Chain A
């Protein structure tokens, strides 16, 4: 996996068990080895006091439980990045109160030992027991690279174990060597003599280390001169080509987008249905009243509203890990880098941007592949501007209002709304890079690894891990705020208007079900309008009036603070159509909206108001789960509030200009 930076995870637990550290270059097969050793027992944690993510897992070595710490992928232990500093501190025992590791497993890619031994050389200098696990031996064999493992072990002064995770070959030996490390049977390593000599002069330390790795490889590794992977080279000619590379990227990403967006809709519907049934089931055992409403609408509805995103998150990370394992993701970042850099975004921002068209939550979580904090923050800030699936019901409603019986124009308006979101995201990233987060995007330095067959097990474990993080962290915040919103839309209680009693009486006498439903709708409308959310909507009417909105739309905006699509059901309640009418018969809602009048008798939903409403919902945040995930990923509410603030201001300004311009023109 690329080096992921995650924020606001639980810190590494204090030292309870002896621990072994797993270190290696990116793409050396470290994660695969870690997963093979720990499986589902792994969990994600932070280095103490930092935002650097690593994974830990318990593993039984011999008969003793041991903690395995998976350090981020590293090229060196220099001060080039936070990850390198933190990894060095962890190995020196300066990260929290865990002390030094009982030993280090260095994962080295057998197909590229000369480069991988640079990090191994630095680790050997740390005077700790070290075992080197040689991965990709099968690939090395195919490339006609032969390694004298015994001789290499002597040169490095530590045990050397070739491993093949897929077949399990070498895993037993690796465990045995780990047991030896824990029992003190593996000697502490020391700086290789040759390296001692080379670094004693004033030469470049990089050169000195690589001279040493070259010398070691010269003695122990024999490769065919023509062994350069022709296949990788040939594929790269296409995939990194300025034109064909972009076309390949577009095809791969369209398929990827299809997976996330299309396949996820089925499990999303199942989860949604499951929670609707759970609500009905629980509701049967509870008397009518606030407790029932709290449990069914607040708690079950809130949890369901959060868990419905899980399929997208799981599918996104599953396919993202597969793409990364194949080596393609690095090529895609390479191809996109030139285009994205123009607006201040790194090439790696393309996957989160694409994913955000399904949902901003997995998109924001996918920004972990972006190493630079500023680049990542800019990407997170602009992602919710891209049209997600939750905006579609709102677009559908407004487009139907604007162009009834004109599907072509409605489709164009729809496409325009999508484009507006995309353009706004690019413009805002450009603005942020020149204002609050100044500076050039980090220049690209990206290894293009050899193409490999991906590991489905790795992808599955990653999807499970990310789903767990989402539920644990974002879920609690979403749950609390869902209950707060339920409270705001339920209290204070108000007496139903006298017409309700009359309508119910008449319905009783005539056994008229429709009349009974109308009475219920009128009661809901009245209760909602008098609740805190309803009163807030009325209170903000002077603020939203310049956008062409009346108090009823104001109520819709307030109630859809947590989820933008809620405006459709809120307007259904407010206009007395009934909460389910938007799904069952949307035309009844649209007819009601079209015929609604202001106090002066003029229609509310004019073209100017409709376009203004569309622009507002394209640009406004109006999504609580996204806010919770932004807080989690940036580590503070500050950026979540800023994101909410700038998007609301942008939406307001754009809707204001739209409404005033269209009103003036008409």
Chain B
């Protein structure tokens, strides 16, 4: 996962764990959306969500960390 923007809200999001290298799970798609990262759920406006670039993680790797991703 990568975050492609810079603002105070993005920095806050990154400090909450939504940053490069972390596994993110999309719990609810909508406005706002719910992400799960590092064991917390975060409500995020979709316009911020658009700045987060994700790639599907390899299943084995994800499940090793107990955080199987849907995204």
Q: Which residues of B contact A338 (CB under 8 A)?
A: 31-32
Question: Closest residue to A371 on the B side, CB-wise?
Answer: B12
Structural contact, A446 and B43, CB atoms closer than 8 A = yes
| One of A110-118, A263-271, A424-432 at the interface | A110-118
Structural contact, A115 and B41, CB atoms closer than 8 A = no
Q: Which residues of B contact A446 (CB under 8 A)?
A: 42-44
Question: Closest residue to A443 on the B side, CB-wise?
Answer: B45
| Distance to closest chain B CB from A523 (angstroms) | 64
Interface string of B1-40 (1 = CB under 8 A from A): 0000000110111111101111000011011101001111
Structural contact, B16 and A115, CB atoms closer than 8 A = yes
**Contact of A319 with B by CB under 8 A:** no
| One of A30-38, A206-214, A386-394, A482-490 at the interface | A206-214
Query: Which has the most chain B C-beta neighbours within 10 Å: A228, A333, A334, A443?
Result: A443
A111 to B44, CA, bound (A): 22
Q: Which residues of A contact B22 (CB under 8 A)?
A: 207, 210
Q: Which residues of B contact A242 (CB under 8 A)?
A: 30
**Contact of A408 with B by CB under 8 A:** no
**Contact of B54 with A by CB under 8 A:** no
A211 to B65, CA, bound (A): 13
Q: Which residues of A contact B11 (CB under 8 A)?
A: 76, 78-80
- Residues facing B in A202-221 (CB within 8 A) are 203-204, 206-207, 210-211
Structural contact, B38 and A445, CB atoms closer than 8 A = no
Q: Which residues of A contact B30 (CB under 8 A)?
A: 242
- Residues facing B in A442-472 (CB within 8 A) are 442-449
Q: Which residues of A contact B57 (CB under 8 A)?
A: none
Structural contact, A444 and B17, CB atoms closer than 8 A = no
**Contact of A592 with B by CB under 8 A:** no
Structural contact, A210 and B45, CB atoms closer than 8 A = no
**Contact of A236 with B by CB under 8 A:** yes
**Contact of A240 with B by CB under 8 A:** yes
Query: Which has the most chain A C-beta neighbours within 10 Å: B13, B39, B63?
Result: B39
Contact (A80, B32) CB under 8 Å given A114-B38, A330-B43, A445-B44 = no
**Contact of A155 with B by CB under 8 A:** no
A324 to B54, CA, bound (A): 32
Structural contact, B42 and A75, CB atoms closer than 8 A = no
Structural contact, A445 and B19, CB atoms closer than 8 A = no
**Contact of A337 with B by CB under 8 A:** yes
A65 to B18, CA, bound (A): 41
Structural contact, A445 and B48, CB atoms closer than 8 A = yes
Q: Which residues of A contact B37 (CB under 8 A)?
A: 115
Q: Which residues of B contact A240 (CB under 8 A)?
A: 28, 34, 43
A164 to B14, CA, bound (A): 30
| Distance to closest chain A CB from B30 (angstroms) | 7
Question: Closest residue to B63 on the A side, CB-wise?
Answer: A225
A118 to B39, CA, bound (A): 14
| Distance to closest chain A CB from B31 (angstroms) | 5
Interface string of A65-85 (1 = CB under 8 A from B): 000000000011011110000
Q: Which residues of A contact B19 (CB under 8 A)?
A: 204, 206-207, 210
Structural contact, A114 and B39, CB atoms closer than 8 A = yes
Q: Which residues of A contact B42 (CB under 8 A)?
A: 445-448
Structural contact, A445 and B21, CB atoms closer than 8 A = no
Structural contact, B32 and A447, CB atoms closer than 8 A = no
| Distance to closest chain A CB from B40 (angstroms) | 6
**Contact of A648 with B by CB under 8 A:** no
**Contact of A223 with B by CB under 8 A:** yes
Residue B39 contacts which of A80, A115, A206, A337 (CB distance < 8 angstroms)?
A115
Contact (A444, B39) CB under 8 Å given A118-B17, A210-B19, A210-B21 = no
A78 to B30, CA, bound (A): 29
Question: Closest residue to B68 on the A side, CB-wise?
Answer: A225
Structural contact, B16 and A447, CB atoms closer than 8 A = yes
Contact (A447, B41) CB under 8 Å given A78-B11, A204-B19 = yes
Structural contact, B8 and A80, CB atoms closer than 8 A = yes
A444 to B31, CA, bound (A): 10
Structural contact, A204 and B20, CB atoms closer than 8 A = yes
Q: Which residues of B contact A119 (CB under 8 A)?
A: 15
A624 to B34, CA, bound (A): 42
A223 to B65, CA, bound (A): 10
Structural contact, B41 and A445, CB atoms closer than 8 A = no
Q: Which residues of A contact B45 (CB under 8 A)?
A: 337, 443-445
Question: Closest residue to B32 on the A side, CB-wise?
Answer: A444
A111 to B13, CA, bound (A): 19
Structural contact, A443 and B44, CB atoms closer than 8 A = yes
Structural contact, A443 and B15, CB atoms closer than 8 A = no
Structural contact, B14 and A206, CB atoms closer than 8 A = yes
| Distance to closest chain B CB from A212 (angstroms) | 11
- Further contacts, 15 of them, CB under 8 A, given A81-B12, A445-B42, A447-B16: A80-B12, A115-B16, A115-B37, A115-B39, A204-B19, A204-B20, A207-B20, A207-B22, A223-B66, A228-B39, A242-B30, A330-B43, A337-B43, A337-B45, A446-B44
- Residues of chain B at the chain A interface (Cβ within 8 Å): 8-9, 11-17, 19-22, 27-28, 30-32, 34, 37-45, 47-48, 63, 66
- Residues of chain A at the chain B interface (Cβ within 8 Å): 75-76, 78-81, 111-112, 114-115, 118-119, 203-204, 206-207, 210-211, 223-228, 232, 236, 240, 242, 330, 333-334, 337-338, 442-449
What 7 A-B pairs have minimum CB-CB distances, sorted nearest first? Answer: A443-B45, A76-B15, A225-B66, A206-B19, A75-B15, A448-B41, A115-B38
- Contacts A/B (CB < 8 Å), 15 sampled: A75-B15, A79-B11, A80-B15, A111-B39, A112-B39, A115-B37, A115-B39, A203-B20, A210-B38, A236-B41, A338-B31, A443-B44, A443-B47, A446-B43, A447-B16
